[in-house]
Structure 1
């Protein structure tokens, strides 16, 4: 199976999700959603960077499935996710994100960036701000 996205937790609580450019299939898309859910297994604050620089436009069924996943897991997302940086250089993919948010709004602070460095810095700042509020 060619992965739809690769989830890297090496720098947890900063998690980077890199879309591979592979076409979504029922198997690889479900694996991707399962990996997103696994980010919350530690029940600790985290921030996400979704790098969609190589992403292909997913079919409408997958867009709906993503929106439904966000709705179904909104409690976990709101409780633990400090922010989501979307790295989306493509206008087409940015419009897909807007469509997904019409299905289900993003329940946490988020921002769209054209490059990974800016997105990663913003996500790290969300984590740092949360630590200062807790401490």
Structure 2
């Protein structure tokens, strides 16, 4: 299975989620969602940067899975996640994200950026406050 996204915790408390450009399948999308939940295993404050520079458009079924995941993990996110930053240059991917948030509101502060550096600065400011 080729991953839909790769999760890098080496710079914790900032976690980097990089979308690979692979088409979403039931298997790789579920692995991505499971990986996201695993980021909370330490029960420590964190911030997440989603780099969607290479993201492929997930199917509607997978968008719904993402929305359901947000709902199921809302309390966990509120307790530990200080913010999520999205690096998205593709207008279609931005529209998909807005669609997911229309199905289920994002439970923590978030911003969308065109550049990774700007997203990192915003997350660092969230962690400092």
Residue 106 (structure 1) aligned with residue 106 (structure 2)? yes
Partner residue of 1:20? Answer: 20
Deviations 1:37-68 (A, max 9, x none): 00100000000000000001111000000000
Deviations 1:1-39 (A, max 9, x none): 110000000011100000000001111111100100001
Residue 2 (structure 1) aligned with residue 10 (structure 2)? no
Give runs of aligned pairs for residues 11-50 of structure 1, distance below 5 A. 11-50=11-50
How many residue pairs get aligned? The number is 129
Q: Provide the aligned C-alpha RMSD in A.
A: 0.5
Q: Give the TM-score normalised by structure 1.
A: 0.94
Gaps of 5+ in 1: 130-135
Partner residue of 1:91? Answer: 91
State the 4+ residue runs in structure 1 displaced beyond 6 angstroms. none
What's the secondary structure of 2:97's corresponding residue? helix
Give the distance between the partners of 2:121 and 2:8, measured in 1 at CA.
16
Cα distance, 1:113 vs. partner?
0.1
Q: Give the TM-score normalised by structure 2.
A: 0.98
Gaps of 5+ in 2: none
Cα distance, 1:96 vs. partner?
0.3
